[in-house]
Structure 1
Amino acid sequence: MTDRTAFPVLYRLRAVEWPGDWDFAFDRVKSRRVLFREYMRRAAVWAQAYSAETAWPFFDITSYVDPAFRLPPEAEAELAELLVRLPNVEVRNTCAGAVRLAELRGQNPDAFSGLPDLYEPLVRFYERGAEFARDDAGFLDLTGMRFRPGPLAVYLTTVPVTLLDDAVLDALDAAGRVTYYMSEDGQGPLLRRRALRDEQTDELFGRDLRWEPTDLIPESDEAVKAAGLAPLDELAAARLIGTIVAAAPGAVG
């Protein structure tokens, strides 16, 4: 978030369609999962920094950072109007935290310079399909995908996904089951195979930030390995897409 005051964040959250449209969210389910996983990582970092491990992951961190902090009355009133529209306590806590932390950072921009922007991945998650929900089996429903959170310690060892703009997120979203590949030596393009029903599509992510058809992925797993290609998980793919996007002509550094 480039503007560290409460109102820009509040307006972004007010612009979300609550509750979310299922089709809109499902079309973005892959980018939403990456955003959610990155939020969990950042929340773990903040929880450790402010001894909030027992409240992790869906908390309003400002109550741990500065228990005496309060929003200006006008912002608090508008936040209260937003919160009554939200579907569950986890979403309410994190939306309140996003607005309040933005104001707190605006008052002292240098205070949290060593910490990641905590709520930005989750605000973007909400913008791309609104809420998540918890089920009785311990899973989270991300709309069309079930997600089981692991322990906090796991997220502290996860490599960050730092670039989360629309070009990166849109490149992650595609119909079907997606497998990413990269040369084992780290050279060459990012590849993906999409399987949807009886169809299979192989693609390459080009420097023009578009997926293009390719014949660089062999048919069988054995041939893929023999060709020196290794599968990548979605977070590694997101980081690589971010590197390509950042290096593209016209990118803002």
Structure 2
Amino acid sequence: MVTDTAAAERMVDRLLAVRWDESAARAHRRSRGRLTREFLRRTAQWALAVGAEEGWPFSDLAGALDREVAVDPALLAKLEIDGATVGGFPIRPAHAAVIVRWAALGDLPRQRFPELDDPYEPLVTMVGRGGGYSVAKGFIELGYGSFPIGSVAERAALEPVPIDEATLDQADQGS
């Protein structure tokens, strides 16, 4: 069994640090769209690689890679949403749990599939740029527009896009 508790704790802390800010989300709408596209591409590639296509883009990639990966339920409980204090479109606790379980794998994904990038980094970066999202009827809703999810195969076939901070900032300057 692989469980990197420290990595899971770091991811929970990172998710808890996100602040839902509608004006920042609007200011970052282009980069958030880019990050959403890259999230879909990466999770599609991972889903195909580990046989976790059902439930994509929020399928249990960690469980498909290591069925015994475990995260302390008390750690996941920290991610429960308080509707009175969180703004619109927060990350769903079930989605956050999938991300934390992935983090708990530590270096195992890179060891087994060195050619694939972290599937959840684009999503975590996206919410860190000012806001959350919702998922409905085949779309990821970013609050100012919808992004089609598409199929696993079509998303997996996309070319990667850079998501470094400088590139994201440059994308937002054009908005």
Q: Partners of 1:107 and 1:166 in 2: how far apart?
A: 26
Query: With CA pairs under 8 Å and 6+ residues apart, which has the higher RCO, 1 or 2?
Result: 2
Seen in structure 2, the aligned counterparts of structure 1 residues 77 and 106 have a Cα distance that, compared at 3 Å, is: farther
Identity %: 34
| Residue equivalent to 1:84 | 81
Q: Does 1:58 align with 2:55?
A: no
Contact 2:24 2:131 in 1 (8 A): no
Give CA-to-partner distance per residue, 1:144-185, whole Å, 9 cap, x none.
122122111111211112x42211111100364xxxxxxxxx
Contact 2:58 2:98 in 1 (8 A): no
| Residue equivalent to 2:40 | 40
| Residue equivalent to 1:121 | 122
C-alpha displacement of 1:112: 3.6
Radius of gyration: which is bigger? 1
Q: Partners of 1:67 and 1:89 in 2: how far apart?
A: 28
Seen in structure 2, the aligned counterparts of structure 1 residues 104 and 49 have a Cα distance that, compared at 3 Å, is: same
Q: Does 1:96 align with 2:93?
A: no
C-alpha displacement of 1:36: 0.5
Q: The residue matched to 1:104 in structure 2 has which SS?
A: coil
Letter in 2 for 1:78: L
Matches of residues 1-253 of structure 1 in structure 2 within 5 Å?
5-17=7-19, 20-71=20-71, 73=72, 76-85=73-82, 91-106=92-107, 110-135=111-136, 138-161=138-161, 163-174=162-173, 176=175
Letter in 1 for 2:105: L
C-alpha displacement of 1:131: 1.4
Unmatched runs of 5 consecutive residues or more in structure 1: 177-253
Contact 2:9 2:75 in 1 (8 A): no
Structure with greater strand percent:
1
C-alpha displacement of 1:105: 2.2
Contact 1:29 1:143 in 2 (8 A): no
C-alpha displacement of 1:107: 6.2
Structure with greater helix percent:
2
TM-score with structure 2 length normalisation?
0.82
Letter in 1 for 2:156: L
Q: Over aligned residue pairs, what C-alpha RMSD do you find?
A: 2.5
